[in-house]
Amino acid sequence: MTYRVCLVCMGNICRSPMAEVVLRATLTGNGLAGVVVESAGTGDWHVGGPMDQRAAETLAARGYDGSEHRARQFTREWFDRFDLVLAMDSVNLRALRKLAPAGREVRLFRSFDPAAPADAEVPDPYYGGQDGFDEVLRQVKAASEGLAKHLAAELR
């Protein structure tokens, strides 16, 4: 049985694709390469488009490759495909909870970062400078490490 995780932000061009690339690498590095990681946005503005250039460059500068990413929109049917759906912030968390079937849990991605409060968000860097993308990368790396530990304990 394959375990599947979906990371969700607003447009699927900055935060969630950065988190997807980093989480996939982190899981592979922790012996969990069989976990499927995907990302999507709650909005449809960028569907089919590549990752934001600043996000891709931030990843590339740290040895990650986000060049294959194409933005997608999360729909209610996706809950049937994923075991774990994680939002980047409270706005997307609320949107996902409205779509979710009754009883389906949706969490914030940073809730897996042991150094962050349970309600910590990954802020949207889209309208800011490079420092915002660097901060997003730092935050998704920490949350990815925490999620890898959680999944290692849960799936083994």
Active site residue 14: no
Catalytic choice (52, 89, 113, 124):
124
**Set 15, 24, 54, 110: catalytic member:** 15
- Out of 9, 89, 110, 113, pick the active-site residue: 9
15 catalytic, yes or no? Answer: yes
Tokens of 98: 């409205």
Distance separating alpha carbons of residues 127 and 115, to the nearest angstrom: 26
Give the HSE-up count for residue 58: Cα atoms under 13 Å, Cβ half-sphere: 27
Q: Which two tokens stand for residue 128?
A: 């800011």
Residue 124 designated active-site: yes
Query: Which residues form the catalytic set?
Result: 9, 15, 124
